[in-house]
Structure 1
Amino acid sequence: MAANNENISKEDIVSKYMEEVLEKGQKPKSVYHFAKENDFEEAEFYHYFGTLEGLEKEIFRMFFTNTVDLLHKNEEYQQYDMKNKMLSFYFTFFEVLTANRSYVVEVLKISRNPIKNLTQLTLLRESFKDYVAEILTDDYRLEQEKLQQFQEKAIKESAWVQLMLTLKFWIDDASPAFEKTDIFIEKSVNASFELMNVAPLNHLIDLGKFLFKEKVYSRQ
């Protein structure tokens, strides 16, 4: 097949894929069928993606990348504390998703197997967890170095779960301009940062160390 599109871009392929899923209500049967129906060479697809599944995963990572790019264009963003950076991420990310809502809802409900649907989010999960680690500040780190690695992993995993809960809420949200999702974001992020307050935990660890030393030395 001779392609009519020369030097098709990664963004073009993504756009064509999203359009086909929305127009047909199903995913392409194969890379061959996808390329043929959209009039470009199959080899052009493999220049950017290994499989259709890889393309699906990359779309959600692109939503994330677009979000972070928008955040970094805001000069005030770099001055925000961790909680406000997270709030900014959420509001911006769901604006990006809303601009592509029909596609997101379609592909996350297209299979009866929810686990299969969520595999599309694996690259998003990696990128988001890296983002959480990047904005994590000392205000939310334990003083004890041996516990910091475990704590950071727990924070990243809980943040991912929270993002998935928010995504589910947004998908089911029927309010105008998704205003209920905005309320959910603000309340859930505020609540999560209250739970992340490490000051009381540091005090408990210090108390535990004190009691341990007292018990050891009292035996001598």
Structure 2
Amino acid sequence: METKAKTKKQPVWDEDQIIAKYMDLMNGRQDEISSTSTFCKKAGIPEAVFFEHFGSVGSIREIIWVKFLDNALAAIAKEPGFDSYSSRNKLLALYFTLFEIFTLNRGYILYALKENGEGLKNVPQLAQFRRRFIDYVKTIPGAADAEWKQKIKKYSDPVFAEGAWVQFLFVLKFWLNDHSKGFEKTDILIEKSVNTAFDLIDTKPVESLFDLGKFLWKEGR
């Protein structure tokens, strides 16, 4: 015979679970939940627990993008022989893997970026992602690509890194509006834009620029 009332076990919330709950709530919504108290009430998360992991609802949005990038970097690092990839192939692997992850989360991303009147480069939620992305790009030229590393010495690190960031935003914007089967047009753009960037450094840009230009003209972008 039981003499004490059972205490309902409270769920344990970690950072990933809070993120998953936020993305689930936001997916398909037309409005933002910007208040921490409102989010916690809808998610069933005690505010004290929330603040153990995040300072605000807005900070969740930044961390989500960082998680996308960290997951992509972890995945490509497991590819056999990745360390011996050329710089070009490392960047291609990153793009293809990252956009595969974006595709799996497309509903949320379309919501998160749906009404940014200032352009993607000014989206606050991409701030941490941008820093992490640029830091990684700077590490790409390695021992396997010593010759290419010498070639980029004529560019300062900030100029080269910012160029890579602009390229990423260019591809992201294209993907947001891509309705092709399996986002195959985005895959084509990734390959052409990365090849063009590397060919420019290799001082043979004309053919690559012409090839990229034909593709963009055909797609009307």
Shorter-normalised TM range: 0.7 to 0.9
- Where in structure 2 are there 5+ consecutive unaligned residues? 1-7, 205-221
Residue equivalent to 1:109: 114
Flag the 1:20–1:39 CA change in 2: closer, same or farther, 3 A.
same
Residue equivalent to 2:105: 100
Distance across 1 between alignment mates of 2:170 and 2:10: 40
CA-CA distance at 1:141 after TM superposition: 3.6
Considering fraction of residues, name the structure with more helix. Answer: 1
CA contact (8 A) 1:5 1:39 kept: no
Among residues 123, 138, 147, which one is paired with 1:139 in the alignment?
147
What are the Cα deviations for residues 66-122 of structure 1, in whole angstroms up to 9, with x where unaligned? 000111111221110100000000000000000000111111014444469711111
What are the Cα deviations for residues 42-86 of structure 1, in whole angstroms up to 9, with x where unaligned? 111111111111110000000000000111111221110100000
What are the Cα deviations for residues 3-58 of structure 1, in whole angstroms up to 9, with x where unaligned? 97432011111111111112432221311110011111011111111111111000
Structure number with larger C-alpha Rg? 1
Residue equivalent to 2:78: 73
Distance across 2 between alignment mates of 1:153 and 1:184: 24
Runs of 4+ in 1 over 4 A off after TM superposition: 147-150
Flag the 1:198–1:45 CA change in 2: closer, same or farther, 3 A.
farther
Among residues 110, 120, 130, which one is paired with 2:125 in the alignment?
120
Q: CA RMSD in A?
A: 2.3
**1:48 match: secondary structure:** coil
Task: Kindly provide the amino acid, as one letter, of the partner of residue 147 in structure 2.
Answer: D
Distance across 2 between alignment mates of 1:77 and 1:17: 34
Q: Which moved more, 1:154-163 or 1:13-22?
A: 13-22
Distance across 2 between alignment mates of 1:101 and 1:110: 15
Number of aligned residues: 194
Among residues 58, 61, 68, which one is paired with 1:63 in the alignment?
68
Is 1:195 matched with 2:200? yes
Is 1:7 matched with 2:12? yes
Residue equivalent to 2:90: 85
Identity of aligned residues (%): 34
Task: Kindly provide the amino acid, as one letter, of the partner of residue 166 in structure 1.
Answer: V
- Where in structure 1 are there 5+ consecutive unaligned residues? 200-220
Among residues 129, 149, 164, which one is paired with 2:134 in the alignment?
129
**2:41 match: secondary structure:** helix
TM-score (norm 2): 0.80
